[in-house]
Every structure is written in C-alpha cells, then in structure tokens.
Amino acid sequence: MLKLTFRGGCHPYDGKDLSKDKAIKEWLPKGELVYPLSQHIGAPAKVIVEKGSHVLAGECIAEAGGFVSAPIYASVSGTVKSVEKRRVVTGDLVDCIIIENDGKYEKAPAITDKPYEEMSREEVIATIQKAGIVGMGGAGFPTHVKLSPKEPDKIDTVIVNCAECEPYLTSDYRKMLEEPDLLIKGLQIETALFQNARGVLAVEDNKPDCIKLLKEKTKDLENISVAVLKTKYPQGSERQLIYAVTKRQINSKMLPADAGCIVNNVDTVISICNAVTKGEPLMHRIVTVTGDAIKDPQNFKVLTGTDYSELIEAAGGFIQEPKKIISGGPMMGFALFDLHIPVTKTSSALLCMTEDEVARWEPSACINCGRCVEVCPSRLVPAHLADHAEHFNEEEFLRYNGMECVECGSCSYVCPAKRQLAQSIKTMRKIQLAKRKK
C-alpha cells in the first residue's frame, strides 16, 4: 500500500516499547495542584477566584483573556490557597492558581446541558471554547480559533494527527487503542462543522494495531478515512502532515486553513468529544512516564495541575538517578532542572534518561557534510543558517529563509560534528519574532 510521507526527516531510536503495552491508569493527585494561567498560545487567562474560596472539580477558575486564549478549570475540589508565581516547564516563573485538594472530587455542573444533536455550528464551537480546549500536542493553540477559519467552506480536510512521531511517547497510541469511539466521534463533530470536509485519521505505520482498529471502526463511515504514514520524524509536524495527506504545502506565513486543512491532535479531538457530548471541560490528559531511569514506565490519566514528582512516584520511582528529565519527547521537549512542575494541558510525557547525550559530545567544526540539508523537512540549509545565527548576520539568516524552520531538531540530531544547529537557529528565530511584534 502507498504510504504517505514528506521529504527529509530522520529516524531516531523510538523507545516506545517501554510503555506502549501499558494500559492507561488513572492517577489521583495527593498534594496541592498548580494551574499556570498560560497553558496556551495567546493572552493569559484571568483569575476569577479569590484566596480561600471553595471550588469544585470542573469549575472555571480563570476565564479566557481574549479571543485567542482559553479558560482554565479546577480539576479537583478544594480551597484556593493562593495565586503566586511558580516555575513551569520552560523554566519561567508564571502566575499560577494553587488549590489545596480536599480529596472529595465533588463535581461542578456540566458546562452545557444541551445535547449535541440540538446544537448549532456556533454552539458547538462556543462549547469547545468554553471547555478551554487547546492543541494538546504541545503547541497549545486554542482549538476554537482553529475551528473558526475565515472561509469555513474552503476547508475540505480535517486531519487528526495520530502520527506521534516523537520517540518514547505512547499517550496518543494508548488513547487510540482504548478510546477509538470517542476519537471517531470527536472527528465527526469536527467534520460536521465544515460542509465540504472529510475526516482523516493519519497514523504512522509503526502502529499497525491502531491502523487496523481504526479502519475497522470507520469502514462504514463515508467521509472518514484512515491514512497510513511512513514512520519518520517529524511526521507529526503540522506542515509535514498536511503535505503527506494532501500534497499541499504551506509555509510559515500561512495557516493550515490556507491549504483547506484543520489539524488536531488525538487528545484534543477526544477532549472535543467529551466537551460537546458530556459537557466536560478540559481538566485531564494522558501523560507517558518513561525512560530508562524509570522503574515501571506507564501511561497515566492525570488531572492538570498535578505535580510531576508524583508521577515519578506513581511509576515506581527511579531505578537509577536520571541525568536528564524531559517534559515531552526527546526531540522537542523541555529539559527540567527541577521536578516540582505542574502537568498542564500540553504535557505529553515525562522522560527520564540516565544519560545526557548532549553533554556527552563536544561540538566541533562543521565539515559541510550536508546531512542537515538532507534531513531538514523545511528544505533549508541548517549548517549555513546556524553560522549566520551565530555571527548574528540577520540579513543572511532571513535570506536563507531561517523563519521557515519548524524547530524539529532533526539537524542537530544527525550532525556528526555535534553542532547545536537547532539551538542557534531557534535563538535567532525568537529574536526575529520578537522584533516583528514591536
């Protein structure tokens, strides 16, 4: 069968065997819960509770700070302890709401009691907005914004990103296996928003059981299909995924909607289904706790706000003291120097590694081998871009299309000279993006 793919990319060791056969377990938090006000792209949420007030599980504690923003819900019942700065995965100190868990898990009323069948298109999107759903693959872009393109009739493909191309991650895989009906229902809800759209579940071919299951479940559905992708990193990158499925290319100045596509992650689509059919706001997600330093790698259903250190405990602790702990996958995740960091809407994994491969290698001179050019999914010349970035040659950096980089890190991964290509390029990109905003 024809397998869809893109040009470039690399094949890092995938490590998924550690946790792929572990069924999702629910983990209930013990200590206090921390809710950062910025768990999404856009304006931070605004606090609507006060210190000392009592909240229920599923009660809104911070409302959206604008259109491109998302509300935040308490995931437990308890008392608001304070609103203070806490450290998040990026290492920044961010305003957070701290809630003391009373252990009762008293539930707040559903965010909507209207059955899905009676909802209008606008009401569905409003419900998704109200549920605080954001892109749970890592970017955290508010989903209702994605679902409101300028010309909805031009959307012809709604893609569910089931690629999970990051090594070690198995949270999406488990979700697909365990809740395929919710996933398909969620996709149907999405496709119904666009009159010309078909739904595509895009799965990498290293998950044959998912492909089989989803094909079986969707065989009678007319406008939903399963697309089989070649296993390659970064297949789950939005632009590369759209290209693989539709052969349309978009660049950094365009949105998926410009190519007639909407792309959402597995967990996001399931959250859409839960919000629209059950009135559940977004307050939990699946986190894979894995790595060679973890005793018993697991996939947990975790309430947002839970402290990462609890998850380590839940997975049996460390067999060996890890050298590096990463929130997310090894290619694009954030390294943590401290474990007291809350799970947010965008946390997908906690990866504990006994070796720091970056520190093991000393960067040396570029030998111009061209491997970075071969793997770059954006078809750039990372070796030259990194040179321009390191010499702060902004003009040349832009002329070499540095802003088209998707920051996948494939160039650094394959570099035989072990140069920090992605790091240099990303730093320069941030500088340029900051300048644009001014």
- List 332, 349, 386, 428, residue binding other proteins (CB under 8 A): 332
Q: Does 90 bind other proteins (CB under 8 A)?
A: yes
Q: Does 35 bind other proteins (CB under 8 A)?
A: no
- Candidates 129, 33, 21, 131; CA nearest to 78 is 33
Q: Does 256 bind other proteins (CB under 8 A)?
A: no
Q: Does 297 bind other proteins (CB under 8 A)?
A: no
Q: What residues does 353 pair with on adjacent strands? A: 324
Q: Where in 142-181 is the site for other proteins (CB under 8 A)? A: 167
- List 48, 126, 213, 339, residue binding other proteins (CB under 8 A): 339
Stretch that binds other proteins, among 8-16, 108-116, 153-161, 206-214 (CB under 8 A): 8-16
Edge-to-edge strand order for the sheet containing 157-162?
224-229, 198-204, 157-162, 261-265
- List 39, 129, 271, 288, residue binding other proteins (CB under 8 A): 39
Rounded Cα gap, residues 161 and 183, in angstroms = 11
Angle between helical axes of 180-192 and 266-278 (0-180°, round to 10): 80
Handedness of CA 150, 131, 100, 310 (dihedral sign): negative
Q: Where in 262-281 is the site for other proteins (CB under 8 A)? A: none
Answer whether 137's CB lies under 8 Å from 348's CB: yes
Helices then strands, counting H and E runs in the chain, come out as 14, 17
Rounded Cα gap, residues 265 and 270, in angstroms = 9
Q: Provide the minimum distance between the beta carbon of 156 and other proteins in the complex, in angstroms, as a whole number.
A: 17
Q: Does 423 bind other proteins (CB under 8 A)?
A: yes
Maximal CA-CA distance, the chain: 64
Q: Does 312 bind other proteins (CB under 8 A)?
A: no
Distance between alpha carbon 354 and the CA centroid of its chain, in Å?
24
Q: Does 73 bind other proteins (CB under 8 A)?
A: no
Q: Provide the minimum distance between the beta carbon of 254 and other proteins in the complex, in angstroms, as a whole number.
A: 6
Q: Where in 350-379 is the site for other proteins (CB under 8 A)? A: 353, 356-361, 364-371, 373, 377-379
Q: Which residue stretches of 281-381 are H helix?
A: 308-314, 357-360, 371-375
Q: Indicate the residue among 49 and 94 with the shorter CB distance to other proteins.
A: 94
Stretch that binds other proteins, among 117-125, 185-193, 265-273, 416-424 (CB under 8 A): 416-424
Stretch that binds other proteins, among 76-84, 118-126, 216-224, 330-338 (CB under 8 A): 330-338
Q: Does 71 bind other proteins (CB under 8 A)?
A: no
Answer whether 74's CB lies under 8 Å from 99's CB: yes
Q: Could you give the string, one character per residue 202-241, with x where binding to other proteins holds by CB under 8 A and - elsewhere?
A: -------------------------------------xx-
Provide the strand spans (E) within 37-191: 46-47, 54-55, 60-63, 72-73, 78-87, 93-101, 157-162
